[in-house]
Structure 1
Amino acid sequence: MRIAALTALTTFGLDQASKIAVVQGLDLINRGQMDIWPPFLTFRMAWNQGINFGLFAGQTEAIRWGIIVVSLVISAWVWLWVRKTAPGRWAQISAGLLVGGALGNVIDRLWYGAVADFLNMSCCGFENPYAFNVADIAIFAGAAGLVLFTGKGAGPQKA
């Protein structure tokens, strides 16, 4: 459980620190875009009112609050599952990534009304139109890790 908590806290801190540094500190909120290492890394300000790739985006407060509630319910469920089942080290890390990332995006929705996305990466002739953030990476990695590191054959271990 301690591993999950430390991972969640670290993930949340890195997400929020990166958003403060880039969105506020580098004034990306007003500049809109900064080429860091083109085309591999560009800071491109985007406000995501929906979930991944802007799905369910809308101007209504009901959608915003619905996403907040769903994020909190999933985070609480994952947290309780970790406490109850005492999964192995990698499953705990995965759970911490998912919870820390989800809570980072919840804070954005509460503070800004939308998630602050700013990372844009392209490569090898592929122009990526989407922006994302540290929390998005953590949520994806955490969900993938929970699929890979839990279930049959991934019995409980003390970490």
Structure 2
Amino acid sequence: MQQEIDQLNAQLYNLILENALKETVLQEKNEQVEVEIKSLLKNFDNEMEETQNKLESMEQIFEKEQEEVRRLDNLCAALEPQYNQIQERRRLAEEKRREEMKDLELKTKAAIYAQAWWRGHSTRMALKNKVKSKKAKKGKKTKGTK
């Protein structure tokens, strides 16, 4: 029995040693994992801090740009009535120019028509006078020779 107890004690001692070795290995692995976790958390925190800083700087830039946009909108709103007046003047000037062009075309057509009528009238009168003067000359010659 004593041998069996000694043998079981020896097995127990071996199992305790084996267990202690495995526990040591696991503790080392656990420590390595904890160190790695701390390192990852530190990297994550650093990255988050950088990202947060970038975000804050972008927000500041965005706010400045928004303020600039609001300022320019106010200026634009102030200039818009003037712009509309200028556009209205341009539109009226364009309408006036078109109307003047139509009037000029109408006057040109009227002048061409009047000139054509006058030329035709003058030509007819000249031909009529020429025919009359030829008849009168022929008539005088024949009357005077008889």
* Both structures adopt the same fold (TM-score exceeding 0.5): no
Structure whose CA Rg is larger:
2
Give me the TM-score of the superposition, normalised by structure 2. Answer: 0.20
User: Larger % of strand: which?
Assistant: 1
User: Larger % of helix: which?
Assistant: 2
* Structure of higher RCO (CA pairs closer than 8 Å, 6+ residues apart): 1
